Structure 1
Amino acid sequence: MAATLNEVMRNTLDNLTGADFKRFKHYLRDQGGFAWGKLEKADRDDTVDMMVQANSMGAGGVMLTILQKMKHNQLAMDLERDLAKLGGQPCPPWQAGEGANAQQGGGQEFFRKHKWDLETRLGVLPPLLIELERYGVLSRLEREQVLCKPTSQEKNHVLLDMIERKGAVAQEKFYEALQAHEKYLVQDLQQSAM
């Protein structure tokens, strides 16, 4: 019987000592915008469930990135091998070739390349903001901070600064939400970059 994504991730976390698991959760909080109150009390199973719920199939890539930051290179290589066996996993950003439309790395690269265009061209924000709040990228307070700005460009500027400060995972989630709510803008920006 083939392993599931959750099983692969749980098995990986089982290889971390208690101190390393706590440090992993700190990295996860910093990278993924998870509330420390939930993560602090979470065991390995709960942590995997939260990661998969927030990141769906990208959760393995998030775990891989954190393990590499922690210098658990062998564990990261084992996880990468196990994720590849699952199939259908997004390619990690360092393996995505030129022009590949991978979920991992694609959003971060898109954000970096098109941040200034997005500031002036983003359209109706409320559905996008609600999606980002649902993903856990934005809090309700942050969503309100964006919406209280008087002009569209100021709203876009505040939103994009928040996303940039939150790092790679937030940028990936922003890209996913943008594809769902502004797919023609995404296509136009990608075409103009070619």
Structure 2
Amino acid sequence: MTTTADRILDSAQTLVQVRGYNGFSYADISAELSITKPSIHHHFPTKAALAEALIARYRERFAAARKEVDDEAAGARQRLVGYAGLYAETFAQGGRICLCGVFAVDAESLPVQVRQATDAFFADQRQWVAGVLAQAGMPATRTGAAAEAYLASLEGALLLARAHGQPDGVAGQDRDVVRSVAATLVDALL
């Protein structure tokens, strides 16, 4: 059963991933869900509180998805390409880009606590990617920078896919932008 708070988070996440943090308001959520703005404020008193809740939920869901990648993939290459699939699946949902990637773009206008939550999300991702690279035999002195390059490439691939446009309801070639960038970089790293 979906709660009002969950519905608000779902609506806000879509709005952020498509329009950005500064591109939506509680009025947009109110109109979409046919609830009052005071009802939204009851659950999330401020836009920053809403953003923090979004990031916390996104981090949880991303961690669970990474675990599935770990469980399904055998080697480092397969795990990293599977991980890129998470980004591709995000884009396949109506041209959405990574929630925290959007927050990173808007970093200068975000409240401090939202920037910190965004940084924590990316720290999780860097740690996971660096760990996979280390398990593949990459020297520890290179794993941090390589993980940063990999993540930057995935976030950039989402932006390129969005810039290229997306066919109506078809993920097809746009998903391939993310996966092909990932596969190319993985080949160069490993």
| TM-score, normalised relative to structure 2 | 0.30
